Amino acid sequence: MSFQTPQSQVVLSGHGLVKYYGDVVGLAGVDVAVRSGEALAVMGPSGNGKTTLLHVLAGILTPDQGEVRLGGERVDQLNDAARTVLRRRRLGFVFQDNQLLAELPADENVALPLMVDGLSRRDAIGRARAMLAQVGLAAEAGRRPGELSGGQAQRVAIARALVGEPQVVFADEPTGALDATTGSQVIDLLIGAATYRGAAVVVVTHDNAVAARCHRVLHIVDGRVSEQVGVVR
């Protein structure tokens, strides 16, 4: 499966991004832009800045130099509280080991970000169940993460990332803990469901099969973009 690069507006961009960890250079001047409905894979050797780039673009870390814009708004100039709200309302996240809350059933895990944003429990659970149905887990809504398979748990995490209608979904090694078949299903679901809604997807991965499902691949080496590959087929 592959995707055509969409010709839509840039939703997320980073220009001249530099990030230091003490004396260690995390990012050494990265420029990147992602369009609505586009899936971008970020690849490269371990410890070369992939996750740092994801965290900077997502407003989890602030860059030491450069700027990050989401829909034209400067993210890097927002304070921590504003970036927290921005992540909650406009971004979605999928982590390698799903990071679901073990004590909450699937529907409550998905509903939680909505409840944090002030939606009533009833409405939040309703939307969460609808989203779980879209990722094929309607029957598992009442189960806790420990009662789900790895693939199912990751689909719950995708539902949680998408339930708030985000502009961008960030995924850090989303298939890293899954077998090849399940991983393939999960990445198709993630990219398919997100881009169908017009959201951009930024995936950090080591897996060529995952990258092959994205529109573009960005290679990061020593904190710099070494190569950009468009339209993967």
Partner 1 sequence: MNPMTDLGLRFIRRPGPGGRAANLAALGATAVVALLVSFLIAGSLGLSHRSDRIGWRSADKADPASAIGAIKLDDEQRVDGHRLTVLELAVLDVGALRPNELAPPPGLDHAPKPGEVFVSPEVAKHWSSLSKEYGVEHPTGVISAKGLSSPEEFIVIRGVKTIAASEHPQYVSSWNDDVWDSRMLGLLIAVAFGITLVLFPILSLVGQAAGVAAKRREHRLAALRLAGATRAQVLWLSSVEQAVLGFAGAVIGLVGYTVLSPLIARIPLGGGRWYVSDITANWWTVLIVLAAVPVLSVVSALIGLGRVSITPLGVVRGQTRKRISVLRVGLLVIGPLILAYYGMQAALLPVLIGVGFAALAVRVIGPWAVQLIGKTLANLANGPVALLAGRRLADDPKGAFRPVAALVLSGFVTGFISVFMPPGDDNPSFHDMRIGVALLLSLVFLTVAASTAAGAVGTALDQAAPARALRRSGVPLSVIERSARVAAVVPVIGVGLPVVGFGALCGLALSGGKVLTDGNSGVLLLIGQVVAGLVLVAVAGAAGAPVLRKASAN
Give me the least distance between CB of 229 and partner 1, in Å please. Answer: 28
Question: How far lies 144's CA from each of 120, 132, 171, in Å?
Answer: 21, 13, 22
Of the pair 108, 207, the CB lying nearest partner 1 is at 108
Q: Does 62 sit near partner 1 (CB under 8 A)?
A: no
Question: How far lies 146's CA from each of 105, 142, 151, in Å?
Answer: 9, 12, 12
Q: What is the x/- site pattern for partner 1, positions 73-92, by CB under 8 A?
A: --------x--xxxxxx-xx
Question: How far lies 214's CA from each of 40, 95, 157, 208, 218, in Å?
Answer: 6, 17, 19, 10, 10
Instruction: Please give the angle made by the CA atoms of 59, 45 and 19, to the nearest 5 degrees.
Output: 35
Give me the least distance between CB of 181 and partner 1, in Å please. Answer: 21
Q: Does 101 sit near partner 1 (CB under 8 A)?
A: yes
51 contact partners, CB below 8 Å, separation of at least 6? 172, 204
Stretch that binds partner 1, among 11-19, 144-152, 195-203, 215-223 (CB under 8 A): 144-152
Q: Does 35 sit near partner 1 (CB under 8 A)?
A: no
Give me the least distance between CB of 17 and partner 1, in Å please. Answer: 16
Q: Does 103 sit near partner 1 (CB under 8 A)?
A: yes
Sign of dihedral through CA atoms 177, 153, 43, 88? negative
Of the pair 92, 223, the CB lying nearest partner 1 is at 92
Residue with tokens 């999960």: 186
DSSP class of 121? H
What whole-number distance in Å separates Cα of residue 136 and Cα of residue 152?
9
Q: Does 8 sit near partner 1 (CB under 8 A)?
A: no
> Of these, 108, 140, 173, 207, which contacts partner 1 (CB under 8 A)?
108
Q: Does 3 sit near partner 1 (CB under 8 A)?
A: no
What whole-number distance in Å separates Cα of residue 40 and Cα of residue 32?
10
Give me the least distance between CB of 188 and partner 1, in Å please. Answer: 23
126 contact partners, CB below 8 Å, separation of at least 6? none
Give me the least distance between CB of 93 and partner 1, in Å please. Answer: 5
> Of these, 12, 58, 158, 162, which contacts partner 1 (CB under 8 A)?
58
Give me the least distance between CB of 95 and partner 1, in Å please. Answer: 6
Q: Which residues bind partner 1 (CB under 8 A)?
A: 55, 58, 60-61, 81, 84-89, 91-93, 95, 99-104, 108, 112-113, 115-116, 120-121, 144, 146-147, 160-161
